[in-house]
Chains A and B, each alone.
Chain A
Amino acid sequence: MAAAAALLLCALLIFSGGPARASEETSEASPAEHEVSGAGNETEGGSAHGEAVITTLPIVSWKWEEVEVPYLVALWILVCWLCKLLIEANHHVTEYIPESALLICCGFILGGMIWGADKVQTFTLTPRVFFFYLLPQIILDAGYSMPNKLFFTNLGGILVYAIIGTCWNAASLGLSLWGCHKGGAMGDIEIGLLQYLLFGSLLAAVDPVAVLAVFEQVHVNEVLFIMVFGESLLNDGVTVVLFNVFDAFVTLGGAKINAAEIVKGIISFFVVAFGGSLLGFVFGLLISLLTRCTKKIQIIEPGFIFVLGYLAYLTAEMLSLSAILSITFCGICCQKYMNSNMDESSVQTVKYAIKVFANGSETMIFVFLGISAIDKTIWVWNTGFILLTLLFIMVYRIMGVFFLTWILNRTRLVPIEFIDQIIMSYGGLRGAVAYGLAVMLDETKIKEKNLMISTTLIVVYFTVIFQGVTLKPLVQWLKVKRASHSELTLIEKLQNRAFEHTLVAIEDISGQIGHNYMRDKWNKFEEKYMSWFLMKPSARKKQDRLFNAFHQLNLKDAMNYVDEGERRGSLEFIRNEGAFIDFKKKFDDEMSEAMPDIMADMSDDHGRAPPKRRDTVPSVSLELHEQSMRGNRAAEDFNSHHLLQQHLYKGRKQHRHRYSRSHFDINKDENEVQEIFQRTMKSRLESFKSGKMGVAPPKTITKHTKKEQQSKMLNGKNRSYLSGDEDFEFSEGDSASGYDASFPTRVAYRAGDGIENPAFMPDVDPSSTMHIPPWLADVELDSVAPSQRAQVRLPWTPGDLRRLSSLRTSVRSSDSFQLTDDRQGDRDELPPPPPPPPRRDGDSV
């Protein structure tokens, strides 16, 4: 692998040899500047091509100039990613040394090779490339994946560190260096007070890229993480302002600075920071609104956040507002609405794509930080200046953090611990933002620009490499509270919610207006107006976090269940596979837009008042399903098709692959699916009828159902079933689809409440189910439409849940399948597991 990389690199160097010499006069050529010079070349080359006299038709021709710039860019991306691949292949190394440090070292090597070949550094990180092409996606990712609640809970502290802390760092560093300069510690260099302050301001900010890279690998507790990370994101506003202000001051010269200018500087801080945030917020709203109506263009739906996020960044840059703040808040603001507006697969796409971009460009940034160092022209050594800078950065960071934390802890509910403060001070990593700003300095105004660049580079290397490497042992040694990577449990979620409500209630009772009160107010406002405005109506329905957690957990269980079954290759798994499919689908149905309508319908039908809804839709798993089946026909078809394809039609399977740029096409041909389905149903039904019971026309069965239902209700088992009306409607509406054929069985299932498999129908002697041969069981399974099996209420019945979760919590049983069978065997003896809760009583309370 190393050989391959080296080879590629050699190829790269050979190719780049030509253009490099061409652009030698610009000492810091870069892809971006190449673009300019390359474009020039191209036009020249083009005209040359035009003028070239063709004597014969060239079969192939060498057109390096035409592809040079994109080719180099692509090649560099590849090389950087290969570096990462190499590094990550050595897992034992990355355990001790953070990836970012290793990438910088890779950069050193690459830089050395280029230097060896060209004798000049052809490729360096230019501010333009960094700020316009590499940084935005990283920050967008940070904003998009920001844990909002944590962030806003700690926002006060974060702002204090980001604003006051950064100002303090800049001022103290600048003034101290100036003092040392006056004291003669640095020999003879031409830097004035303002230039020191400018230098201080560019080095003041903790770098989001470096912090993220290092802290991601050290799993510190979430409060500590959000403090450091939030600070690194938000201090950009301060840095930009400080940098611009001091840059302007340096240009103006000390004499022209008066109180008015300073006041202007302070005002500009507020404008830049809040303007940037506001702009990001607006763009975030825009994204949310746009994703409300992208149903028809689902394929490009995930692209909007990238385009609009980038636009937010560029617009802020254009208005000289804080671009980082803008794109951060854009991500923070849109994440919730976007994720619920878009299709699930689009959300996944965004999540992955944003990581690809962010991680990819992070890799490139670190590699190029390394490469940029291998350049004789920028290195100016001044021991005093460099060492003092390093020292002051460390010392003032520690002082700042401890002092600010001391102030914050006086009002914080849970004080920041001493150990956490140490890590916070130590985690003050500087990175590419500082370097980018340093390169942007104007050489005509600042004579010692190169000294500043080299000092910045040394500070970056020191913090990223040295502090990065030592941070992990330090965290371990100090026993910093780590993030608990717990598998989230439902009870935790539930309890967290209960805690929230409790705190709000207690604040209300004791008459306090605290965080919880404010958060509660905000949540209510958000729910009422923001969600209404920014979310699709259908998405608003599935907002309940607690229920979503439950949904996720169930999905995971089901997944494990199938995996387990597949691993064992056991028959039980095949028999129960349908359970899995229904499981998923039913949730979808449950959550679909159809829900409120049905609920409304039903309460109307039965003349009940809406507040009693809970009461009126008890066995929703049944009615709901039937109702929404009409609405969710496509999903239904897909599922049945899937099922059939898997088990029945292997031989005659007609797999059509259709290419489409605008759809992921699954075979949705209604007729075809219907046709296959009906044919299958018919043949299955034949065997089914002969095997089970006499056939009756659907309608009479429906009535039958009703009666039987009532008798069941007396048993107290099916207390929640309302009436057969829905069935009736259903059978009329869908009599052609073949679903109705399965009605008789359903009735039977209801009796067996909790039995998920048709093979275990109560009218068959339970003991005999054990003897059903595998092939028969399989047939049984397939003979039942998925919709119908959903009615069996697999995931909902406690018994089944227990069976599912027994897979997960191995405490209960090591062999879940055995358990299933056992349960089947002694079902008769088992008392109904859940004592029917006195629903009506509960309601009347």
Chain B
Amino acid sequence: MGSSSSNLNTIPNSQELMQETGFSAAHLLRLYERFEFLDKDNKGHLRPEDFEAVQELSTNPIGDIIIGSFFSPGQETVDFPSFVRILAHFRPAEKNRTRDGAQPEPANSSTGKLKFAFQLYDRDRDGKISREELLQVLRAMLEMQVTEEQLESMAERAIQEADLDEDDAISFDEFKKSLEKVNIDHKMSIHFMK
């Protein structure tokens, strides 16, 4: 696959993508290689099964949820631009780049990162993390060690901690507020190799 993806021209809309996501050409190429590697039958898009084929993901407790986050609701496939856009959330935020207000918030800002984390929970995309949604994530992460009831009370507790308007759910603002002491840039960035 090396030869087919060795230059940027093979990637559709590469310039726009770089502009939008902030990935360098080298990053983009590398991700494209990865994309093609995951795309076993050269469909040009990925399906959930393609993600599940990644060995390490199967041991990740919230692997399914993360795979789910790559697909917008109702869609079964993800193409390369969307794939890159999702990954762009995890680029380390850069300090010096000032963006004018007209442009949308970049994906790798702390709000962007938080948004991504938020919608990991918010499966039905209603803008709120309900108790049930939180419980699902909790259940995935703690699985064997704890009992259902403990899980429930943990979910209850977590919601209470964050829930300011007492609607028994966590909205994005509440989510953001509850995590304001956490260094999001640090916790939601990975080092993309060139």
A contact set with B: CB distance below 8 Å: 411, 413-415, 484, 486, 489-492, 494-517, 520, 524, 541, 543-544, 546-547, 550, 553-554, 590, 613-615, 617-621, 624, 720, 793, 795-798, 801-802, 805, 809, 811-812, 834-835, 837, 839, 842
Min CB distance, A597 to chain B, in Å?
15
Fill in one digit per residue for B111-135: 1 if any A CB lies within 8 Å of its CB, else 0: 0000001001000000000011001
Interface contact B34-A510, CB-CB below 8 Å: yes
A–B pairs, 23, beta carbons within 8 Å: A414-B189, A491-B158, A494-B154, A498-B137, A500-B187, A506-B66, A506-B87, A509-B51, A511-B33, A512-B191, A512-B193, A544-B142, A544-B145, A547-B150, A547-B154, A550-B157, A553-B157, A620-B149, A620-B150, A621-B147, A798-B152, A835-B132, A837-B132
- Most-contacted residue by chain B among A503, A505, A517, A541 (CB, 10 A): A505
Chain B interface residue count, CB cutoff 8 Å, equals: 67
Interface contact A809-B187, CB-CB below 8 Å: no
Counting CB contacts under 8 A, is B141 at the interface? yes
- Residue of B at shortest CB range from A415? B95
Counting CB contacts under 8 A, is B153 at the interface? yes
Min CB distance, B41 to chain A, in Å?
18
- Most-contacted residue by chain B among A502, A512, A547 (CB, 10 A): A502
B contact set with A: CB distance below 8 Å: 30-31, 33-34, 37-38, 51, 54, 56-57, 59-63, 66-67, 70, 87, 90, 92, 95, 117, 120, 131-132, 135-139, 141-150, 152-154, 156-158, 160-162, 164, 166, 170, 178-179, 181-183, 185-193
Alpha-carbon gap, A213 to B38, bound state (A): 53
Interface pairs A-B: 3 shortest CB-CB: A511-B34, A620-B147, A798-B156
Alpha-carbon gap, A510 to B145, bound state (A): 30
Alpha-carbon gap, A673 to B181, bound state (A): 49
The residue that B182 contacts in the complex, of A495, A503, A837, with Cβ under 8 A, is A495
Residues of A within 8 A of B139 (CB): 614, 842
The residue that B56 contacts in the complex, of A497, A508, A541, A720, with Cβ under 8 A, is A508
- Residue of B at shortest CB range from A515? B191
The residue that B190 contacts in the complex, of A507, A590, A797, with Cβ under 8 A, is A507
Alpha-carbon gap, A796 to B153, bound state (A): 5
Task: Contacts A490-B157, A506-B87 given; indicate if A614 touches B143 (C-beta within 8 A).
Answer: yes
Min CB distance, B159 to chain A, in Å?
8
- Most-contacted residue by chain B among A511, A613, A615, A842 (CB, 10 A): A511
Interface contact B142-A546, CB-CB below 8 Å: yes
Interface contact B181-A543, CB-CB below 8 Å: no
Alpha-carbon gap, A837 to B135, bound state (A): 9
Alpha-carbon gap, A13 to B127, bound state (A): 75
The residue that A617 contacts in the complex, of B117, B147, B152, with Cβ under 8 A, is B147
Interface contact B179-A495, CB-CB below 8 Å: yes
The residue that B158 contacts in the complex, of A490, A506, A507, A837, with Cβ under 8 A, is A490
- Residue of B at shortest CB range from A543? B145
The residue that A492 contacts in the complex, of B137, B141, B178, with Cβ under 8 A, is B178
- Residue of A at shortest CB range from B54? A508
Min CB distance, B142 to chain A, in Å?
6
Main secondary structure of the interface of B (DSSP, over half): helix
- Residue of A at shortest CB range from B138? A494
Task: Contacts A489-B161, A511-B37, A618-B149 given; indicate if A497 touches B189 (C-beta within 8 A).
Answer: no
Interface contact A499-B145, CB-CB below 8 Å: no
Alpha-carbon gap, A812 to B163, bound state (A): 11
Residues of B within 8 A of A509 (CB): 34, 38, 51, 54, 57, 66-67, 70, 87
The residue that A809 contacts in the complex, of B143, B160, B182, with Cβ under 8 A, is B160
Alpha-carbon gap, A801 to B156, bound state (A): 8
Min CB distance, B89 to chain A, in Å?
8
Residues of B within 8 A of A809 (CB): 160-161
Min CB distance, A264 to chain B, in Å?
38
Min CB distance, A380 to chain B, in Å?
50
Alpha-carbon gap, A835 to B154, bound state (A): 15
The residue that A491 contacts in the complex, of B148, B153, B179, with Cβ under 8 A, is B179
Interface contact A486-B188, CB-CB below 8 Å: no
Interface contact B161-A503, CB-CB below 8 Å: no
The residue that B154 contacts in the complex, of A411, A498, A510, A550, with Cβ under 8 A, is A550
Alpha-carbon gap, A57 to B62, bound state (A): 84
Interface contact B187-A501, CB-CB below 8 Å: no
Residues of A within 8 A of B181 (CB): 484, 486, 492
The residue that B189 contacts in the complex, of A413, A486, A520, A811, with Cβ under 8 A, is A413
The residue that B178 contacts in the complex, of A491, A614, A797, with Cβ under 8 A, is A491
Alpha-carbon gap, A398 to B186, bound state (A): 26
Interface contact B60-A501, CB-CB below 8 Å: yes
- Residue of B at shortest CB range from A541? B145
- Residue of B at shortest CB range from A501? B62
Interface contact B147-A834, CB-CB below 8 Å: no
Residues of B within 8 A of A512 (CB): 190-193
Interface contact B157-A498, CB-CB below 8 Å: no
Residues of B within 8 A of A812 (CB): 166
Interface contact A495-B143, CB-CB below 8 Å: no
Task: Contacts A491-B161, A491-B178, A509-B57 given; indicate if A796 touches B150 (C-beta within 8 A).
Answer: yes
- Most-contacted residue by chain B among A484, A494, A517, A554 (CB, 10 A): A494
Task: Contacts A720-B148, A837-B132 given; indicate if A491 touches B120 (C-beta within 8 A).
Answer: no
Alpha-carbon gap, A486 to B180, bound state (A): 10
Task: Contacts A489-B178, A490-B154, A618-B149 given; indicate if A505 touches B62 (C-beta within 8 A).
Answer: yes
Residues of B within 8 A of A513 (CB): 193
The residue that A842 contacts in the complex, of B87, B136, B193, with Cβ under 8 A, is B136
Interface contact A834-B191, CB-CB below 8 Å: no
Interface contact A502-B160, CB-CB below 8 Å: no
Given contacts A510-B190, A802-B160, A805-B157, 20 further A-B contacts (CB under 8 A): A491-B158, A492-B179, A494-B137, A495-B117, A503-B190, A505-B66, A506-B66, A508-B54, A509-B70, A511-B37, A512-B193, A517-B56, A520-B56, A590-B150, A795-B153, A796-B152, A798-B156, A801-B160, A834-B156, A835-B131
